[in-house]
């Protein structure tokens, strides 16, 4: 098969953390990989597709490291309540009715929103995961998928959920041209009893897979964990062996210094979800302290039912702003760090190598923003604009694994009209069931 070669000319490219964080020049792609990025014009081969990059800002695709995509169907269905009430009174009763088809359409809605908004990789912890994998295959997006498991049920049900999680992780790891990888994810220490949680740890060892869970999201959770097990959640999960596996925890809002030390020592990543944490009044995670301790902090939206959108630009901006406000230090989480959290650190924290940065040899997962709009001018510092001024609506083009999936704001891989109609119909039918 002949190679597909693309050259982007006269663009601006974001390379946070490098000597030239805003580079003006050229980028070339060959099939699924970036083969060159630099100021000098590379030789163009015959038959290469040429993209005019002027008026566009190219940056790595955003990596959303925590979410429950099908819950977009419940966007706006439970606002202004704390986590436990929101879960028990609003989310769980509705989710109990979700069929595979519902998850298919809810996930399609989310993936459409994410791709159009510049997210090229997402993590999903949910149910009916075969259908989530199906949407991932069709849409061209990259995903780290796992069957989330709540263990507040009889032992036989626990066992069958665990078996399902294992089968899913085994079947789909490396599928869709390598765009899908898998992990194992007990939902949370407060929904999975210790012996059950440990079965996931054992399975993760057997399958050599990383682990993911919700942890230390609310003060109530921490107090309850101490009351039930005599330990705060971090020490509890350490004791259950989770951190003997490569791990990522979602939220980590309520952590003391000792716990931050434990996470750093075991190289455990934290998916920071500022929008969801603010909306559910869970609190503000100690991100500057986590970063200072060397913990890999990435960004996630959580579901659209607690956010209420999947705009990773908003998450990046929130992360860059709230920690300044809370600490009184304007240098807390500066723009390049927020951008790294949304890209390179994100990829690393979900164990994807070769994703998250514009560099030769990396996967061609990148996006282009329209920088000709009033809120993106003048071009003082385009990296600053990407973090402090931009939003999902500015995304003009998106490539994943070398394939263009969004062109001039239109998704090329999904049937947008069908998704719009089905999302509305599905929500209405859920209300009647």
Ligand X SMILES: N[C@@H](CCSC[C@H]1O[C@@H](n2cnc3c(=O)[nH]cnc32)[C@H](O)[C@@H]1O)C(=O)O
Residues forming the site for ligand X (CB under 6 A): 68, 83, 87, 91-92, 95, 125-127, 148-150, 161, 187-188, 214, 217, 276, 302-303, 306
- Looking at beta carbons only, is 76 or 154 nearer to Zn ion? 76
Which one of residues 113, 221, 302, 344 is an interface residue with Zn ion (CB under 5 A)? 302
Cα→Cα distances 346→190, 290, 355, Å: 26, 15, 9
Which entry of ligand X, Zn ion, none binds 127, CB below 5 to 8 A by partner kind? ligand X
> From the CB of 160, what's the least distance to Zn ion, in Å?
22
Which entry of Zn ion, ligand X, none binds 148, CB below 5 to 8 A by partner kind? ligand X
Which entry of Zn ion, ligand X, none binds 161, CB below 5 to 8 A by partner kind? ligand X
- Concatenate the DSSP letters of all residues of 328-343 into one string: T-TTSS-HHHHHHHHT
CB 319 within 8 A of CB 64: no
| Cβ neighbours of residue 379 closer than 8 Å, sequence gap 6 or more | 12, 371, 385
- Looking at beta carbons only, is 87 or 322 nearer to ligand X? 87
315 binds Zn ion (CB under 5 A): no
- CA–CA separation, 152 and 144 (whole Å): 25
Which entry of Zn ion, ligand X, none binds 145, CB below 5 to 8 A by partner kind? none
Characterize the bridge pairing of strands 269-272 and 297-299.
parallel
Residue 221 assigned ligand-binding role: no
- Looking at beta carbons only, is 57 or 169 nearer to ligand X? 169
Which entry of Zn ion, ligand X, none binds 87, CB below 5 to 8 A by partner kind? ligand X
| Cβ neighbours of residue 233 closer than 8 Å, sequence gap 6 or more | 189, 215, 216, 221, 222, 225
Characterize the bridge pairing of strands 49-52 and 5-14.
parallel
- On the 0-12 / 13-18 / 19+ scale of CB atoms within 10 A, 374 is exposed
> From the CB of 148, what's the least distance to Zn ion, in Å?
8
> Tokens 């974001």 — which residue?
14
Residue 66 assigned ligand-binding role: yes
Q: Which residue is nearest to ligand X (CB)?
A: 148
Residue 357 assigned ligand-binding role: no
Residue 80 assigned ligand-binding role: no
Three-state SS at 356? coil
Characterize the bridge pairing of strands 247-251 and 269-272.
parallel
Residue 217 assigned ligand-binding role: yes
The window from 69-77, 111-119, 300-308, 353-361 that contacts Zn ion (CB under 5 A) reads 300-308
> Tokens 């991932």 — which residue?
136
- Looking at beta carbons only, is 12 or 187 nearer to ligand X? 187
CB 18 within 8 A of CB 358: no
- Looking at beta carbons only, is 58 or 196 nearer to ligand X? 196
Three-state SS at 296? coil
The window from 55-63, 130-138, 298-306, 340-348 that contacts Zn ion (CB under 5 A) reads 298-306
- CA–CA separation, 426 and 72 (whole Å): 11
CB 31 within 8 A of CB 75: no
- Looking at beta carbons only, is 167 or 418 nearer to ligand X? 167
Q: Which of 223, 203, 219, 222 is nearest to 211 (CA)?
A: 203
Which entry of Zn ion, ligand X, none binds 62, CB below 5 to 8 A by partner kind? none
The window from 97-105, 175-183, 262-270, 301-309 that contacts Zn ion (CB under 5 A) reads 301-309
Helix (H) or strand (E) holding 346: helix 344-349
Residue 187 assigned ligand-binding role: yes
Annotated binding site for substrate: 95, 147, 187, 217, 302
Annotated binding site for Zn(2+): 66, 68, 214, 302
Q: Which residues are at the interface with Zn ion (CB under 5 A)?
A: 302
Annotated binding site: 66, 68, 95, 147, 187, 214, 217, 302
């Amino acid at each position: 098969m002949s190679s597909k070669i693309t050259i982007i000319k006269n663009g601006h490219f974001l390379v946070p953390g490098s000597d030239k964080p805003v580079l003006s020049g050229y980028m070339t792609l060959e099939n699924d990989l970036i083969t060159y990025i630099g100021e000098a014009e590379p030789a163009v081969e015959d038959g290469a597709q040429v993209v005019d990059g002027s008026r566009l800002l190219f940056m790595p695709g955003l990596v959303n490291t925590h979410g429950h995509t099908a819950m977009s169907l419940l966007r706006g269905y439970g606002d202004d309540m704390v986590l436990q009430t929101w879960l028990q009174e609003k989310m769980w009763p509705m989710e109990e009715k979700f069929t595979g088809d519902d998850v298919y359409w809810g996930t399609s809605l989310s993936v459409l929103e994410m791709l159009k908004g510049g997210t090229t990789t997402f993590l999903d912890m949910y149910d009916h995961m075969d259908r989530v994998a199906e949407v991932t295959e069709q849409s061209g997006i990259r995903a780290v998928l796992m069957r989330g498991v709540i263990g507040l049920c009889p032992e036989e049900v626990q066992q069958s959920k665990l078996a399902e999680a294992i089968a899913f992780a085994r079947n789909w790891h490396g599928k869709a041209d390598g765009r899908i990888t898998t992990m194992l994810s007990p939902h949370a220490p407060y929904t999975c009893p210790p012996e059950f949680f440990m079965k996931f740890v054992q399975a993760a060892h057997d399958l050599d897979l990383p682990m993911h869970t919700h942890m230390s999201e609310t003060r109530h959770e921490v107090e309850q964990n101490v009351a039930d097990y005599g330990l705060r959640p971090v020490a509890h999960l350490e004791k259950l062996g989770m951190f003997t596996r490569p791990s990522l925890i979602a939220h980590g809002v309520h952590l003391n210094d000792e716990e931050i030390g434990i996470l750093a020592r075991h190289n455990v990543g934290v998916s920071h979800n500022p929008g969801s944490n603010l909306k559910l009044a869970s609190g503000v995670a100690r991100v500057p302290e986590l970063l200072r301790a060397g913990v890999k902090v990435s960004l996630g939206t959580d579901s659209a039912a607690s956010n209420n959108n999947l705009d990773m630009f908003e998450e990046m901006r929130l992360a860059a702003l709230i920690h300044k406000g809370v600490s009184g230090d304007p240098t807390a989480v500066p723009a390049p760090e927020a951008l790294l959290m949304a890209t390179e650190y994100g990829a690393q924290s979900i164990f994807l190598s070769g994703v998250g940065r514009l560099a030769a040899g990396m996967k061609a997962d990148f996006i282009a923003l329209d920088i000709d709009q009033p809120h993106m001018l003048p071009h003082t510092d385009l990296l600053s604009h990407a973090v402090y001024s931009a939003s999902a609506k500015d995304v003009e083009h998106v490539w994943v694994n070398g394939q263009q999936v969004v062109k001039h704001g239109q998704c090329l891989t999904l049937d947008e009209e069908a998704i719009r109609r089905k999302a509305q119909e599905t929500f209405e039918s859920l209300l009647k069931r």
